[in-house]
Amino acid sequence: MQRPPDLKSKGYREDWSSRLYSGFVSILDIAFSALQSAVGIRGMAYVFVLPNLLIFGIFILLPMLLNFGYAFTGGSQLYLENRPYVGTANIEQLFQCEDIFDYTTCREDGFIRAIGNTISFVTSQVFLLVLFALLTALVLNRKIAGRAFFRSVFFYPVLLSPIVVALIWSWILRENGIINAFLGSFGVGKIQFLADVNWARFWVVMISVWSQMGFYTLILLAGLQAIPHDLYEASQIDGANEWQQFWGVTLPLLMPTMLVVLVLSLIRAVQVFDVVYAFTDGGPGTATLFIVQYIYRNGFVGNRRLGIAAAASLVMAGALIGLTLLQFVLRSREGELIEEEERASHEPSA
């Protein structure tokens, strides 16, 4: 990935597509050259960054700033100028509880429940996701016939859209579905999976692991393949068995990749929405109501409570930024550790 492609084997063959491209470049060059003579080379740097900056500024940064506006204003008006300033009332309302550990005493019990549900979903989903992705990557990293095939097999569900995933599984899990038929052959009665609180939670975790695992497997597999082979040979000469090699070589050297996977999957898990929206729609009751869906319901469904939705967004953004910072802290600490080790290993020879 780091090396530019071999120019002799690939580039500079004049086929129709490269001719089309160079024609396209030449036409635009007329405009850009004129622009360059007006603003100079230094100015072109701004020209290149401008389109991205505009889109980013208008559709990401501006909404983020506006979000603060909504979070600190009340009322049911859509446009900010008509909304009265209420300070932190929205955020306070979200956490207004007589007893924080009993959501029924909270004013916004939906929010507190959504937080609780999200936390329990995130912990179990990320744990299972990383566990299975690691296991699969380890198996695929062995000398296995048909490795490319299996790699694709595990990746395939990643490509399916959340709606498709939700429909596939709700078909499988329905009362007259194949899972119930399978259980029935062991004499278990029909279970209404999506009408039962615990089963619904269980399957929401399962299908999101099912649909995302392949992606993290690929990243972990790449991390495994980057581990130098000599280390295994050296440890083998020292008499280490496969199990010891795993704990002594593989796992420590895989840690940076594991960290990436952990943080990526954590952030994605906190944002879980579409699969669940199509699968259980937060039900039964509020058993699988997660934070983004809470925001969606308040912001876009029924009588909108934009202030509450925006305040909930702020809380969630805070959590995400916290997670990201955590990653940086862990990373830099790990970097220090590696540096120390390197220094230690160099000292005797010096």
Residues 149-208 within binding reach of another protein (CB under 8 A)? 150-164, 167-169, 171-172, 176-178, 180-181, 184-185
Tokens of 1: 């990935």
Residues 210-239, one symbol each (x = binds another protein by CB under 8 A, - = not), give: x---xx--xxxxxx--x-------------
Which distant-in-sequence residues (6+ apart) come within 8 Å of 236 by Cβ? 245
Nearer to another protein, 43 or 102 (CB): 43
Q: How far does CA 229 lie from the centroid of its chain?
A: 31
Q: Residues in contact with another protein, total (CB under 8 A)?
A: 107
What string of H, E and C letters represents the secondary structure of 308-341?
Answer: HHHHHHHHHHHHHHHHHHHHHHHHHHHHHHHHHH
Site track for another protein across 319-348, x = CB under 8 A: -xx-xx------------------------
Residue 205: which of 122, 280, 291 has the closest Cα?
Answer: 122
In the complex, what is the shortest distance from the CB of residue 75 to another protein, in angstroms, rounded to a whole number? 14
Q: Does 242 help bind another protein (rule: CB under 8 A)?
A: yes
Give the list of residues 6+ apart from residue 261 with CB closer than 8 angstroms, or none: 130, 133, 216, 219, 220
Task: Report the site for another protein in 82-121 (rule: CB under 8 A).
Answer: none
Q: Name which of 49 and 197 has its Cβ closer to another protein.
A: 49
CB of 98 to another protein, least distance (A): 29
Q: What is the DSSP letter of 160?
A: S
Nearest CB to another protein, comparing residues 159 and 234: 159
- 48, 202, 246, 247: residue in contact with another protein (rule CB under 8 A): 48
**Pattern 260-289, binding to another protein, x per CB under 8 A?**
x------x---x-xx--xx-----------
In this structure, the number of other CB atoms found within 10 A of the CB of residue 53 comes to 12
* Cα separation, 277 vs 102, whole angstroms: 25
Q: What helix, strand, coil percent values describe the chain, rounded to 5?
A: 75, 0, 25
Q: For another protein, give the closer residue by CB, 68 or 104.
A: 68
Pick the closer one to another protein by CB: 100 or 202. 202
